[in-house]
Amino acid sequence: MQNYLEFNFKISPLQPWNEILMAELIEIGFDSFTEEMDGILGYVQKDLFNEKELKVLPLFQNKEVNIEYSFQEMPNINWNEEWEKNFSPINIEDKVLIRAEFHESVQGMHEIVIQPKMSFGTGHHPTTHLMIQQMMDIDFKDKKVLDMGCGTSVLAIYAKQKGAGEVKAIDIDEWSVENSKENAQRNGVELDIEQGTADNLGNEKYDIILANINRNILISDIPTYVSVLNDGGKLLLSGLCFFDVDDILEVCRDCKLELKKQLQREEWVCLLLEK
């Protein structure tokens, strides 16, 4: 079991800055959160935390919001057990249910069963929810799919369940890779899972690319995604706040991508583009 730090962030005003702060904290290693009335509790492995990285986050420089924080060490916590206590099923449009093995099945719904470990992508975050919404209306039959920043691989699993052919899932985090392998087996699907980044991509081509990461990585990596996307292929992007959209679309236009559909949930946005 890992030693964790618990951070208590007081945020004023709370909205929309709590969601934005969580997105920025994920980038520097925070991996779980609890929302409070006046802020959020954030958790990070002690040996991964660098306070200098925290203090230079963009939101701490933003004059529209005031953020104060304190923290304490929380040693020897069984985090898998904690996640199980707080993990509830996610119902997406009464069509897709993301649940754990210890939840009851719901007749008539498409189900994705995951073990809610520390990997990002349980479905509770609005961006995962939006990606699933977009994927509902896409034909995955026999398509070659890439899931970048796969987290739990819930998106890759759903693509495979919808009839995709080969599906590759990549994440920079070793924990996510191991969790993805377990979740693929749990859902009876075969995925090609590896640890890495967009630098891992060679000359293989894909029909559909799923990337639920964050603004900065997407801006950097969209040209690489486009280079391995077949003509007529689809690119789904999320991990974005509404104010990120113009910058993302500028990069997409430069890469000759056409925006087909945009969904928003709270402050978060998901874009469907086509090459």
Q: What CA–CA distance (Å, rounded) separates 89 from 103?
A: 7
Q: Are 32 and 130 in a shared domain?
A: no
The predicted structure's pLDDT at residue 119? 47
User: Does 114 reside within a domain?
Assistant: no
**Residue 37, domain extent:** 4-73
CA-nearest of 257, 192, 181, 180 to 218 is: 257
User: Does 101 reside within a domain?
Assistant: no
Q: Are 129 and 46 in a shared domain?
A: no
For the beta carbon of residue 206, count every other beta carbon within 10 angstroms. Answer: 22
Q: What is the pLDDT of residues 67-120, one digit of tens each?
A: 999 999 876 656 566 666 667 788 999 999 998 887 888 888 999 998 765 545
Annotated binding-site members for S-adenosyl-L-methionine:
128, 149, 171, 212
CATH of the domain at 180: 3.40.50.150
pLDDT of 251 > 60? The answer is yes
Residues 6 or more apart whose CB falls under 8 angstroms from that of 143 comprise 159, 163, 164, 165, 207, 208
User: Does 266 reside within a domain?
Assistant: yes
User: Does 85 reside within a domain?
Assistant: no
pLDDT of 215 > 90? The answer is no
Give the total number of structural domains in the chain.
2
CATH of the domain at 12: 3.30.70
Q: What CA–CA distance (Å, rounded) separates 76 from 79?
A: 9
pLDDT confidence bin for 33, thresholds 50/70/90: confident
The predicted structure's pLDDT at residue 84? 63
Written as six digits, the tokens of 101 are: 């093995």
pLDDT of 32 > 80? The answer is no
Q: Are 57 and 136 in a shared domain?
A: no
44 alpha carbon, distance to own chain's centre: 17
- Identify whether the C-beta of residue 43 lies closer than 8 Å to the C-beta of residue 31: yes
User: Does 261 reside within a domain?
Assistant: yes
Q: Is 69 strand, coil or helix?
A: strand
User: Does 97 reside within a domain?
Assistant: no
Annotated binding-site members:
128, 149, 171, 212
Q: What kind and span of H or E run contains 79? A: helix 79-86
